[in-house]
Structure 1
Amino acid sequence: MKLENIPNPLIIQNFTTENGALYHSLPLSFAVFGLPLHSAPIVLVNHALTGNAEVAGENGWWNDLIGDNKTIDTDKFTVLSFNVPGNGHDAFIIENYQNFTTRDIARIFLKGLDLLDITNLHTIIGGSVGGGVAWEMLALAPNSTQNLIPIATDWKSTDWMIANCYLQEQILNNSSKPVEDARIHAMLCYRSPESFKEKFQRTLNENLSIFNIESWLAHHGKKLQQRYQLSSYRLMNQLLKTIDITRNSEDFETLLSRTNATIHIIGINSDLFFTAKENKETYQELKKFKHNVFYSEIDSIHGHDAFLIEYKQLDQLLADIFKAETIAK
């Protein structure tokens, strides 16, 4: 199958969300990097909150890891990534964001794989909410992938996560500068006190007569406002809040006992959002009934965003997975 013969976006027809909302036509746009589809093992990369399907190439947000002769080697793999419908990367917008849950996006991605005639993946990998979608995909389709690599995420949103998403929602719905102000709050979740201390040292921006941490936060707020839509932020925040493979479903052990996939959980020791403690608890639960599960950890002061910062460490952890075997074409 040649990529140029595949419509982009794909059209998901007559999709009913978990909450009962019917969408007669949902566009699912995607990007492919590396070897052509169906000519090599396929790695599905799920993007995070403000990300998109451009995972590699000139504007790729993960191009330190994905590319020719890189850890996820596009000379050996086909790399596929979907845009979450409504993420703002294409023209499609979802205003009724509460219609959707993370599981709905997992269902949409699985339908996309069906339309691309993909029956088995080498790996599903994702960070943050993208990793949450990955967990949901595995729970729904236990034979869909050989490897699951959830990074800085978990199979459920904790009370702490839900609380922060609730505050984000309040800001997005009530602030006069919703995207800017929500981003400022989010940056406090994405980083850590130690990260801020190392970077700013309580220094002043003399031109603005404010602390450098304040000018930095304001910069990030304005920067996101210039490139990100309010409807997209509301939707992605809703997805971050609704990760839970067991909601209205079976229990954790029952769901994950069905898969033979190897699960490689990667946590971050300073993550304030998806904590390393929660990741370790998930690992210990899985070990009770599953042998091919592993836990590794990024050592960083930078908090949740370390999966986008600590490329060398992440590269080493992923190299053990992607380079430890001979890839058969």
Structure 2
Amino acid sequence: MTTKATVDLGEFTFESGESIPSLEVAYETYGEFTGDNAVLVCHALTGSAHVARRPDAGGETAGQARAWWGDVVGPGKAIDTTEYYVVCANAPGSCYGTTGPSSTNPETGEPYGTDFPPVTIGDWTRSQRRLLDELGVGRLHAVVGGSVGGMNVLDWLRRYPDDVDYAASVAAAARLDAQCLALDTVARRAITSDPNWNGGHYYDASATDESESSSDSSDGGSEPTDGLARARQIGHIMYLSKASMARKFGRRSAGREATREKPTDPAGAFFPYREVESYLDYQAEKFTERYDANSYLYLTRAMDDFDLAAGYESDADALAAFEGELLILSFTGDWHFTVEQAEVLADACRDAGVDVSHHVIESDHGHDAFLVEPEKVGPPLSALLSAGLDGRAITDTAEEEDEPEAFAPVHTSLFSE
């Protein structure tokens, strides 16, 4: 049983103190609710509610062609939708069905643009709680999320500690470090310095639907396509490791058959157009066709702003009320959210008396590993949901005595369709 729907939660006041008269939340559910089997999955930065494959989905769903965790969530998968009632909700501020900057302000009849209130991860959590109330779900069997979705999980544990039995924070941390904050800053500046950004009010009457493709600014379009493309390319670099980039591209030329719209500068025509350039250009182009520049600004700021200890004396103090069990998954090649950051979080849990297991996965895929290696991510999640931290597949090292259950490889990433 699957559901794809949107619910109007009515007036919503954000943590900034600003309100909107109506917050619509796009969500999908999978499986049948039996009262104690609900699993909330929190999506990453530019993900949608489309977490698993749907028999009725056909082609593109909510602007995102692939189910972003389709080899982890589904019938017979690690998060088994024949056993669990899985809910995934699109975050406020996004452009995949939930109210955000590109949505119409009912008070003006025009898109909000940057008049939309600032959004925090706490706002995501509060909207999810209200959605679950609408669905009749009280206590969650588990809440699971990767990347900024893993931060969303941590916010659940400090905000609603009595509502969760099990939690899994995958490829995440209690906060971003200064290097990642700096790179996100440059990405946002790429958008806001695009002449077509126009202070965030670049929408016109023919492009108010969030699902419409962006126009190419070089063809006279009004959207900040160039700025969003550069921001996305910075993101790609952040989420790949040196090893994975060397393996994928090296210093190879893309070949004579590869084309680019125009050289970046007059001298550029003399030098080779490398595979890594071609890849970044292609992914940027595809991304600008499906995502909104203002949403990218809003959601990266929400991620940057998150600090688990905010309002508390420490991370341990923030988590002290949680009496369930927490699984932390980190990846050795991930420099966006490092193994060291994950261990600091695990130490905070131990200090707070929270039952925790930090499972380190050997991988050179960078931050993308939590999406591209489901055969490594799936078994610990499955074990957590079925048996808690006593599950046989969960260890505190990357080595396991038994061979993990095989999962079909997935060829997606945070930065692909």
Regarding TM over 0.5, the answer is: yes
What are the superposed Cα offsets for residues 290-329 of structure 1, whole Å, 9 maximum, x if unpaired? 251000022111111110111111122223213447xxxx
Equivalent position of 2:11 in the other structure: 14
SS in structure 2 of the partner of residue 18 of structure 1:
coil
Specify the alignment match of 2:211 in structure 1: none
More strand by share: 1
Measured after TM superposition, the shift of residue 191 of structure 1 is 0.3
Query: Could you tell me whether the CA contact under 8 Å between 1:110 and 1:137 is conserved in 2?
Result: no
| Equivalent in the alignment of 2:406 | none
Structure exhibiting the larger radius of gyration computed from Cα positions = 2
Cα distance, 1:267 vs structure 2? 0.7
**Map of 1:56 onto structure 2:** 52
What amino acid does structure 2 have at the position aligned with 1:253? A
- Within the candidate set 27, 40, 44, 1:44 is matched to 40
The 1:42–1:219 alpha-carbon spacing in structure 2 relative to 1, beyond 3 Å, is: same
The two structures have a TM-score, normalised by structure 1, of: 0.91
Q: Residue 75 in 1 paired to residue 82 in 2?
A: yes
Shift of 1:98: 6.2
TM-score in terms of structure 2 length: 0.73
Aligned to 2:173: 154
Alignment match, 2:296: 233
Once the two structures are superposed, the pairs formed by residues 143-222 of structure 1 within 5 Å of their partners are 143-175=162-194, 177-207=226-256, 208=258, 209-222=272-285
- From 364, 374, 387, the equivalent of 1:311 is 374
Give the match's secondary structure for 1:84.
Answer: coil
Cα drift, residue 250 of structure 1: 5.0
2:60 is aligned to none
Structure-2 change in CA distance of 1:225 and 1:3 (3 Å):
closer
Q: Structure 1 regions of 5+ residues with no counterpart?
A: none
**What is the CA distance between 1:15 and its match in structure 2?**
2.0
Among residues 95, 102, 105, which one is paired with 1:88 in the alignment?
Answer: 95
Q: How well do the aligned residues superpose, as a CA RMSD in angstroms?
A: 2.2
Q: Where do 4+ consecutive residues of structure 1 move more than 6 Å?
A: none
Q: CA deviation at 1:8?
A: 3.9
The size of the alignment, in residue pairs, is: 322
For the pair 1:251 / 2:314, whether they are aligned, the reply is yes
User: Relative to 1, partners in 2 of residues 1:234 and 1:98: Cα closer, same or farther, differing over 3 Å?
Assistant: farther
Name structure 2 gaps, 5 residues minimum.
55-65, 102-112, 195-223, 259-271, 389-417
Q: Is this contact kept in 2: 1:136–1:244, CA < 8 A?
A: no
Query: Structure 1 residues 298 and 90, CA, compared in 2 at 3 Å: closer, same or farther?
Result: same
Letter in 1 for 2:187: Q
Report if the CA contact (8 A) 1:273-1:304 is conserved. Answer: yes
- What is the alpha-carbon distance in structure 1 between the residues aligned to residue 156 and residue 298 of structure 2? 19
The question of whether the paired residues in 2 share the 8 Å contact of 1:161 and 1:274 is answered with: no
- Would the alpha carbon gap of residues 250 and 73 (structure 1) be closer, same or farther in structure 2, given more than 3 Å must change? same
Task: Provide, for residues 113-142 of structure 1, a one-character-per-residue CA deviation record: whole Å limited to 9, x for no partner.
Answer: 222222110110011111111111211111
One-letter amino acid matched to 1:26: L
C-alpha distance in structure 1 between counterparts of 2:162 and 2:288, whole Å: 40
1:126 to 142, 145, 159: 145
Give the structure 1 partner of residue 345 of structure 2.
282
Q: Distance in 2 between matches of 1:29 and 1:206?
A: 43
Amino acid in the other structure paired with 1:278: Q
Cα distance in 1, alignment partners of residues 16 and 352 from structure 2: 32
Measured against aligned partners, the alpha-carbon deviations of 1:177-216 in whole angstroms (never above 9, x if no partner) come to: 0221111111110001111111112111112441101101
1:100·1:239 contact (CA, 8 Å) conserved in 2? yes
Aligned to 2:150, the other structure's residue is in SS state helix
1:252 corresponds to which letter in structure 2?
D
State the percentage of identical aligned residues. Answer: 26
